[in-house]
Amino acid sequence: MIAAPILIGEDQLLSLVEKVIKQSEAEGVFVSLSTGEEALSRYSENQISQNISQTRFNLTITSYFGTRCASASTTDTDPEAIAQAVRRSEELARIAPEDPEWMPLLEVQVYEQRTPAFDEATAMLSPLERGKIVQAVCARSDRANVDGSGTLSTEVFLRAVGNSRGLRACSQGTVADFSFTARTGDGSSWSQRTAWAIDQLPIESLTEQLIERAARSKHPREVKPSIYPVVFDGAAFADLLSWVIWNLDARAADEGRSFMSRIDETSKPIGNLLGEAIFSPLVQVQRDAAHPLLQLGTFTSDGLSNGYLKIIEDGVPKNLSYSRYWAKQQGKEPTGSLTPIVMDGTNQSLANLIGQTERGILVSRAWYVRYVNPRSLVVTGMTRDGTFWIEDGQIAYPIKNLRFNQSLPEMLRDVDALSTVQRYGSSVVPGVRVQAFNFSSVTDSV
Amino acid sequence: MVQAPAQIATTDLATIAIDRIHQAGCEYGDIRLCTYRSQNLTARDRTLSQLADNVSSGFGVRVLLNGAWGFAASHNRTLAEVERIVNLAVDIAKASHLSQQTQVQLVPVTAYSDTYVTPIAIDPFSVPITEKAELLLQLNEQLLSYGDRGIKKAYSYLRFTREDKIFASTAGATIQQTIYRSYPGFGCTAIANGDAQSRSYERPPLNIGYEHIQPQDLLAQVDRVATEAVEKVNAPLGPSGISTTIILKPTNLFLTIHESIGHPTELDRVYGYEANFAGTSFATTDKLGTLQYAAPWVNFRADRTQLGGRSTLGYDDEGVPAQDWYVIKDGILVDYLTDRETAYRLGRDSSNGCAYADSWASVPMVRIPNLGLEPGPDGSSHTATLSEMIADTENGILIDGIGSFSIDQQRRNFQFGGDAFWKVEKGKVVGMLKNVTYHSMTTDFWNRVDALGPASEREQCGTSMCGKGEPIQLAQMTHACVPVRVRNIQIGGSQ
């Protein structure tokens, strides 16, 4: 049986970072290394249709000469290939134009003192064990007479960064993810869960729940596109919230290119809306890699700490994403990326939220969400895989899928209830209820 | 892992892998050994924010055992790793078999031994980096010189790739291919009136050498692009809640083709392989040969042989030779995009060669090939040049470039934007609009096309960013097309 991942340890990875830095002839060098194994079983029509394993390694070297820099990468672990990548980055850096936004190499950082989650059973899960789990899901789908499709994946990864100023960081971790779509006639349902250990995934209960929801979604009726209250399943809301967080870039806000831009009476940009109560006071969002459901690494890809950071508190944006260059220009501390995001929930279930809703729409999944207006953060997208009409605190009947055109800042302004949180990918979010959400057209697509 | 492995020739690794697959009793297997070199340059304002030269190499082994698939891949091109990966792929296939209800079967393919190299005039990697960097900074500097008129941000980019792939299969194929790709473009943002609006220009992503870059053409577009960005940010909002005539340039239409013709005719989607993610299709096999997908004068042809096409190559990632075929003929759905597995399910005796994997680490799957809209034939009552379409339109909107795009999971309900919009009134373009989207159902839209541009107005537009699959893979393809005019399309305001 060939199951054990062929990986090196943190010590070896840091040792390789050290070796590469020593090889450098540049005035400064930044090294980023990642390696890992990902296995993913994909099934449709109640059987595995694609089943893969990927063993990966990537080394990126960024060389600096004065304010000139360039990078080169390789996936080859051969010392000669690594040496060639180092030389390639140096050759490019020497002839690169001077960078007016150049920043000196990052100094040694202080990271959170904690160990990211690593689950041995997830790292070592064999193809056969994965196949058996999927087999059980497919068999259950078959018995329920639904067409089941989805994925089960596990990943083990190691990442390290270092530079010639002495910066060093390394972490390892595991991720397991399960997604399932149940289709039956003109009914469909979907959801997803992510965890750092395979045994934390509620595969059996989620499968049951989605099979039941698929049956309830059959024979959807058409409702007139309009503005309605909406209860979002957490899986759907996670997709929408991430668009807001991506758009909390300080430079875009300060330059007048974002919904966070502040403009004067002559419509000129004069900074940003940090500190303004622009969202519902229920909205609390933070970067929290240490959250129990996440327990991710302690640094971002550029070596900055990804320590706890308040992003939105009581509906008030408290921090934007500042690059090192823009932070220096504005006299702020650099934040790096605002992910992973965690939004606070409550102890109410999604059913409680539905029970408190007089009339509205339950959205299980948001699909193909794209900008319509990047400046105001209006997006469009579709509902999918289980859309229901809510009447008098009950799911009344399934409805046909709808297209929405919606300002996402206004969506966060209109949040009036939250449920418990779940992890979806690298985000932890609750289900939410929104007082008003704009649907513009309907489709027959299931 | 970081020790120097014993080096062994790539072709020998392929031979050894195929031998091991045979020994494992698989009914089929293949190996792809690939090296991708990519050079990416991006300039933002006056800084070259990205100058990267990346090499990714490794191999992927796919086996079919007792009708079930297994795939494993590794970056580590050593004999020991090839043996481990073949064994792992076989173990994975055994695990796949646990849930197997219907055995996978493949249509046959001739075992080719061949080589293919993208015809190019200038190797993009032979051109000095300084020349490339200077071009981008010059473009941005010229765009930012419109700062007093409102241009506050500029970006430009150059993308080059060389893909070296060796494919070998238990069917006896040995195919070596080298594919070159080049792609330049730039854009800018005007900020005024509490708004920000962008305008862009690209020479479309093509499989071609550095001769595609054409610095003089790029520089010659700067004035128009910057001026139009300023006009756009000061333009009135587009109308909302009306139906009107739209005239789409190829730079906009290619994406509508991609989403509403390309994806619905991927046969793996039709069969439900993508039900959990990318979605399925309304264009089911019971409609083959009968569905009036488009107006009778509308024809879509797939062609992986067309010069420069982004998915043009010698063979697909199953060793099937590049070919061309009609997908929609005289408005009727007549064929699909297949790999060997889905072609078998459809009852065909061969695949039309749409298997593609975006990396050595990725498994091949059905991807859209070059898929183009045929020009209107000379003399047809539905053929008109862009100028003639405008002159013949009482009220309408002319759209250039791509913007917002979204379509439902079975590819019916879509909403698209654009990069620039002009109001057409009484046969003339009378001024820019902003924040326009058009919305339709796929077959309604294509059946409302009443004019097609002639062959002289055909452009090879396309995308390098088509996402599909889990884990997601990015494919690249060209949608050569002509301008079209479409009647009675709903316009929704996006303010």
Q: How many Å apart are CA A35 and CA A38, to the nearest integer?
A: 10
Grade residue A8 by pLDDT with cuts at 50, 70 and 90: confident
A194 touches chain B (CB under 8 A): no
Residue A183 and residue A226 in one domain: no
**pLDDT tens, residue by residue, B197-253:** 999 999 999 999 999 999 999 999 999 999 999 999 999 999 999 999 999 999 999
Residues of B in contact with A38 (CB under 8 A): 471
Last residue of a domain, one of A213, A243, A274: A213
CB-based contact B1 A7, cutoff 8 Å: yes
Domain-embedded: residue A195? yes
Q: How many Å apart are CA A314 and CA B200, to the nearest integer?
A: 39
Average pLDDT over residues A283-312: 97
C-beta separation of A445 from B412 below 8 A:
yes
The backbone region for B251, taken as left when phi is positive above 0, alpha when psi lies in -120 to 50, beta otherwise, is alpha
The alpha carbon of residue A350 is apart from the nearest alpha carbon of chain B, in Å, by 23
Between positions 234 and 273 of B, the ones with CB within 8 A of A are 271-273
Residue A158 and residue A226 in one domain: no
Q: Could you tell me how many CB contacts below 8 A there are between chain A and chain B?
A: 303
C-beta separation of A344 from A421 below 8 A:
yes
Residue A180 and residue A65 in one domain: yes
Q: How many Å apart are CA B97 and CA B78, to the nearest integer?
A: 29
**pLDDT tens, residue by residue, B370-389:** 999 999 999 999 999 999 99
Residues of B in contact with A55 (CB under 8 A): 72-76, 85
Instruction: Return the residue in B38, B199, B408, B411 with the most chain A beta carbons within 10 A, the one to mutate for interface testing.
Output: B408
Residue A381 and residue A446 in one domain: yes
The alpha carbon of residue B388 is apart from the nearest alpha carbon of chain A, in Å, by 30
The alpha carbon of residue B471 is apart from the nearest alpha carbon of chain A, in Å, by 8
Residues of A in contact with B68 (CB under 8 A): 48, 51
The two tokens of residue A160 are 């390290």
Q: Domain B10-233 is of which CATH architecture?
A: 2-Layer Sandwich (3.30)
Above 80 in pLDDT, residue A318?
A: yes
The H or E element that residue A41 is part of is: strand A28-44
Residue A198 and residue A275 in one domain: no
Domain-embedded: residue A2? no
Domain-embedded: residue A420? yes
Taking CA–CA distances from B7, the nearest residue in chain A reads A78
**Proportion of chain A above pLDDT 90, given as a percent:** 98
CB-based contact B408 A401, cutoff 8 Å: yes
Among B51, B98, B277, beta carbon nearest to A96 = B51
CB-based contact A443 B408, cutoff 8 Å: yes
C-alpha of B384 from chain center: 27
Among B4, B85, B92, beta carbon nearest to A127 = B92
Domain-embedded: residue A122? yes
Residue A113 and residue A22 in one domain: yes
Q: How many Å apart are CA B309 and CA A306, to the nearest integer?
A: 43
Last residue of a domain, one of A213, A245, A280: A213
Grade residue B9 by pLDDT with cuts at 50, 70 and 90: confident
Above 50 in pLDDT, residue B420?
A: yes
C-alpha of B437 from chain center: 22
The backbone region for B227, taken as left when phi is positive above 0, alpha when psi lies in -120 to 50, beta otherwise, is alpha
Helix A79-95, helix A10-23: angle, nearest 10: 50
B133 touches chain A (CB under 8 A): yes
The alpha carbon of residue A214 is apart from the nearest alpha carbon of chain B, in Å, by 13
Taking CA–CA distances from A96, the nearest residue in chain B reads B130
Above 80 in pLDDT, residue A14?
A: yes
A56 touches chain B (CB under 8 A): yes
C-beta separation of B296 from A67 below 8 A:
no
CB-based contact B276 A6, cutoff 8 Å: no
Taking CA–CA distances from A9, the nearest residue in chain B reads B1
Residue A205 and residue A87 in one domain: yes
CB-based contact B2 A79, cutoff 8 Å: yes
Above 70 in pLDDT, residue A3?
A: no
Residue A31 and residue A122 in one domain: yes
Range scoring the smallest mean pLDDT among A89-93, A267-271, A321-325, A397-401: A267-271
Taking CA–CA distances from A135, the nearest residue in chain B reads B99
Residue A54 and residue A169 in one domain: yes
Domain-embedded: residue A296? no
Taking CA–CA distances from A50, the nearest residue in chain B reads B69
Between positions 411 and 440 of A, the ones with CB within 8 A of B are 440
The alpha carbon of residue A264 is apart from the nearest alpha carbon of chain B, in Å, by 9
The H or E element that residue A282 is part of is: none
Range scoring the smallest mean pLDDT among A140-149, A262-271, A320-329, B348-357: A262-271
The per-residue pLDDT for B494 is 44
Contacts of B233 (CB under 8 A, 6+ apart): B150, B190, B191, B192, B193, B195, B196, B197, B434
Residue A205 and residue A59 in one domain: yes
Domain-embedded: residue A1? no
CB-based contact A367 B75, cutoff 8 Å: no
Grouping H, G, I as helix, E, B as strand and the rest as coil, residue A20 is helix
Residue A233 and residue A91 in one domain: no
C-beta separation of B370 from B206 below 8 A:
no
The per-residue pLDDT for B11 is 85
Last residue of a domain, one of A191, A213, A235: A213
Between positions 406 and 425 of B, the ones with CB within 8 A of A are 406-413, 415, 417
The overall average pLDDT reported for chain B is 96
Taking CA–CA distances from A52, the nearest residue in chain B reads B71
The alpha carbon of residue B302 is apart from the nearest alpha carbon of chain A, in Å, by 25
> In angstroms, what CA-CA distances link B451 with B261, B376, B392?
18, 8, 10
Instruction: Kindly report the pTM of this predicted structure.
Output: 0.97
Structural domain harbouring A312? 220-288+302-446
Residue with token string 């050595």: B360
CB-based contact A77 B194, cutoff 8 Å: no
Instruction: Return the residue in A375, A407, A439 with the most chain B beta carbons within 10 A, the one to mutate for interface testing.
Output: A375
Average pLDDT over residues A275-298: 98
Q: How many Å apart are CA A189 and CA A193, to the nearest integer?
A: 14
A247 touches chain B (CB under 8 A): no
Above 70 in pLDDT, residue A402?
A: yes
The two tokens of residue B74 are 């590794």
The two tokens of residue B356 are 């593609």
The per-residue pLDDT for A6 is 54
Q: How many Å apart are CA A414 and CA A185, to the nearest integer?
A: 35
Residue with token string 């909302």: B240
CB-based contact A126 B91, cutoff 8 Å: yes
Residues of A in contact with B153 (CB under 8 A): 255, 257
Above 70 in pLDDT, residue A199?
A: yes
Residues of A in contact with B237 (CB under 8 A): none
A36 touches chain B (CB under 8 A): no
**pLDDT tens, residue by residue, A154-169:** 999 999 999 999 999 9
Comparison of pLDDT for B495 and A430, the residue scoring more: A430
CB-based contact A44 B193, cutoff 8 Å: no
Residues of A in contact with B197 (CB under 8 A): 375
Between positions 369 and 398 of A, the ones with CB within 8 A of B are 369-376, 378, 380-382, 384
What are the domain boundaries of chain B? Answer: 10-233, 242-493
Between positions 453 and 492 of B, the ones with CB within 8 A of A are 470-471, 492
Residues of B in contact with A407 (CB under 8 A): none
Residues of B in contact with A408 (CB under 8 A): none
**pLDDT tens, residue by residue, B278-329:** 999 999 999 999 999 999 999 999 999 999 999 999 999 999 999 999 999 9
The per-residue pLDDT for B4 is 42
CB-based contact A53 B1, cutoff 8 Å: no
Among A44, A261, A442, beta carbon nearest to B272 = A44
Taking CA–CA distances from A7, the nearest residue in chain B reads B1
Domain-embedded: residue A3? no
Residue A246 and residue A375 in one domain: yes
Domain-embedded: residue A90? yes
The per-residue pLDDT for B2 is 37
CB-based contact B407 A368, cutoff 8 Å: yes
Between positions 48 and 87 of B, the ones with CB within 8 A of A are 48-49, 51-58, 68-77, 84-85, 87
| Phi, psi torsion values for B257, nearest 5 degrees | -60, -45
The alpha carbon of residue A343 is apart from the nearest alpha carbon of chain B, in Å, by 25
Number of domains in chain A: 2
A49 touches chain B (CB under 8 A): yes
CB-based contact A382 B100, cutoff 8 Å: no
Residues of A in contact with B2 (CB under 8 A): 8, 12, 16, 77, 79
**Proportion of chain B above pLDDT 70, given as a percent:** 98
The backbone region for B421, taken as left when phi is positive above 0, alpha when psi lies in -120 to 50, beta otherwise, is beta
